[in-house]
Structure 1
Amino acid sequence: MKNQYQVELILDSKATLGEGPSWDNEKRWLSWIDIVEQKVHIFYPDSKRNRTIVVDQNVGAAVPRKSGGFVLALRDGFYLMDIMSEQLTPIAHPEKHFPNNQFNDGKCDSAGRFWAGTMEGNETEGAGSLYCLDLDHTVRKMVENVTVSNGITWSPDNKTMYYIDTPTLQIVAFDFNQETGSIQNRRVVVNIPPKTGNPDGMTSDMEGMLWVAHWGGYQVTRWDPITGELLNSIPIPAPIVTSCSFGGENMDELYVTTARIGLSEEVLEKYPLAGGLFRIQTGVKGVPMYSFGG
């Protein structure tokens, strides 16, 4: 399993909890977030400029909106954000009856629906759920009994949805109905070996393989969801690797976010690039990132 990939630091951001990279092919920028610093970032690869928008609560995910701006999954539910005025407009708060819960990770499907999941602040087992924000701004609960809702992605033909609840150390698959957004036939397709870091953010490539960031695992891995086989492991010079997604002109660059939260001074001295934003030339095209259509 030879590693033939070059890992490049493109922004020494020293993020406390960098997460959720999302490439906007039309605007040629990468949005990403720092959950606990309550920041939404827009990184422009050509100029290496990074714009930061501070919101007033923890942000679990930010996705572009077709009509402009972003849709955010914040601690207090779903919001629209105008990036000119930086103003937030609430849409829905499906867990206002669970004040200790917060959103963590999310992504849009090919029809423009926004999927995002929750977790309890102390990671209480089964306290979270996965939700789908439809184009008409109604919210559906799709998966219950979730502990740390994390990576979500779809197969290139949009017939399968993959999902990670981190403590399970598994990637599960569902049959996905692109027209209705319904999911069924849940099954485990990948088992992550213990002590390799916990599975966090995830994306997929046009060959149908899954790319997974490993929290505490110093790596990004590539898996075959048909066989469950590990295809490759790419070392990242940061202990906490949080998420990954494809972007770039040819959609063959993997953008990787990392974090510094909870790391000792000793570890930070050894891994000074922790919290940075990285890029990997993969040689394979990734599935596109979709914008929210509502």
Structure 2
Amino acid sequence: MTQTKAKQFAHAAELLLDSKAILAEGPHWNARQNRLYWVDIQGLSFGHLDTATGSNEQFNMGKTVGAVVCDAEDDEVVYLATRDGFERFDCRTSTLTAIVDPESDKPGNRFNDGKCDSAGRYWAGTMQDVEANVTGALYVLDNDLSCRKAYDGVGVSNGIAWNEDETTMYYIDSMKGTVRAFDYDAAAGDIANPRVIIDFREEEGAPDGMTIDAEGMLWIAHWGGWQVSRWNPATGKKLEAVYVPAAKATSCVFGGEDLGTLYITTASIGISPAELQEQPHAGGIFMYRPGVGGTPTHAFRSGKSLN
């Protein structure tokens, strides 16, 4: 798809931050701070953007950062899913503290995307750096900082979302081009009964990051598809799509005071100089008001101190 095909879309996202990231991903909305947190996986960093002022602060970690979530109590603390597992970062002191690395025996793997459920458990999955083999898995960092494997046989672990009452969890494996649904036990934080509900094989691009709106519809970023699309998980049908002026849309999250703004991350990795002429803001963060409200972003709740 080229930018000339933008006319096929009824709506288009607007540029919010020309971040020129290599691989922006994992947007996380902090309602208390009115900030959008996000990672640049290959830029080895995460940032937080004040959406009112446009001020963005970036923190370099010196390693790939696949996901960032905020601490439920401390505004200066975040939890990262990095190449070295789950880690805690204090923005005041720039102190990075290791928690657990469930794949220390797989140096070719890294964490890629993650999100918290309403209980504050941190779900994040892994993938092989070279994306050649199915070597990843989906993990849970529980509130007591213990870690467990929830699902195996993952190619490229990506978007996660829950329905309103958290009886269902949705999950994307980009390598397999599918969105799966699991029965979700919110009390225990367990998943069961995986089934494919959306098949992306006929779509432009691959399914990447994902969020869910207040009506229970899924919003999925198309890696290589110039769009974010809305889907009904009950029927597996595509409902609409918004044009993104960058081919590699990576993820999205609802934010803003009314949770009515869809923030969209994109990537510039692998784009040639000629292609960059057509998409000069690739790697930027975009925004779109779809006319439907979103769902809250949850922070990590730790019941155990690392000190």
Same fold (TM over 0.5): yes
Aligned to 1:137: 145
What amino acid is the match of 2:195? R
TM, length-normalised to structure 1: 0.97
Aligned to 1:169: 177
**1:228-271 deviations in Å (ceiling 9; x for gaps):** 10000111110110000000010010000001000000000111
Measure the CA separation in 2 of the matches of 1:97 and 1:194: 36
Aligned to 1:223: 231
Residue of structure 1 aligned with 2:26, choices 20, 26, 29: 20
Measure the CA separation in 2 of the matches of 1:43 and 1:196: 29
Deviation at 1:195, TM superposition (A): 5.1
TM, length-normalised to structure 2: 0.93
Measure the CA separation in 2 of the matches of 1:62 and 1:236: 23
Aligned to 1:66: 72
Answer whether contact 1:169 1:194 (CA < 8 A) is retained.
Answer: no
Identity score, percent: 46
Aligned to 2:4: none
**1:46-70 deviations in Å (ceiling 9; x for gaps):** 1110001111211000000113210
Residue of structure 2 aligned with 1:249, choices 257, 260, 264: 257
CA RMSD of aligned residues (A): 1.1
* 3-state DSSP of counterpart to 1:266: helix
The residue correspondences of 1:64-213 to structure 2 (distance < 5 A) are: 64-68=70-74, 69-194=77-202, 196-213=204-221
Aligned length: 293
* 3-state DSSP of counterpart to 1:167: coil
**1:19-67 deviations in Å (ceiling 9; x for gaps):** 1111001111000010011111100011110001111211000000113
* 3-state DSSP of counterpart to 1:292: coil
Deviation at 1:125, TM superposition (A): 2.6
Aligned to 2:305: none
Deviation at 1:6, TM superposition (A): 4.5
* 3-state DSSP of counterpart to 1:267: helix
Aligned to 2:53: 47
**1:94-135 deviations in Å (ceiling 9; x for gaps):** 000111110000000111000000011111332000000000
Deviation at 1:4, TM superposition (A): 4.8
Answer whether contact 1:6 1:281 (CA < 8 A) is retained.
Answer: no
**1:169-188 deviations in Å (ceiling 9; x for gaps):** 11000010111001111111
What amino acid is the match of 1:23? W
Measure the CA separation in 1 of the matches of 2:213 and 2:53: 26
Deviation at 1:191, TM superposition (A): 1.1
Query: Does 1:292 find its partner at 2:279?
Result: no
Deviation at 1:276, TM superposition (A): 0.8
Answer whether contact 1:120 1:147 (CA < 8 A) is retained.
Answer: yes
What amino acid is the match of 1:128? G
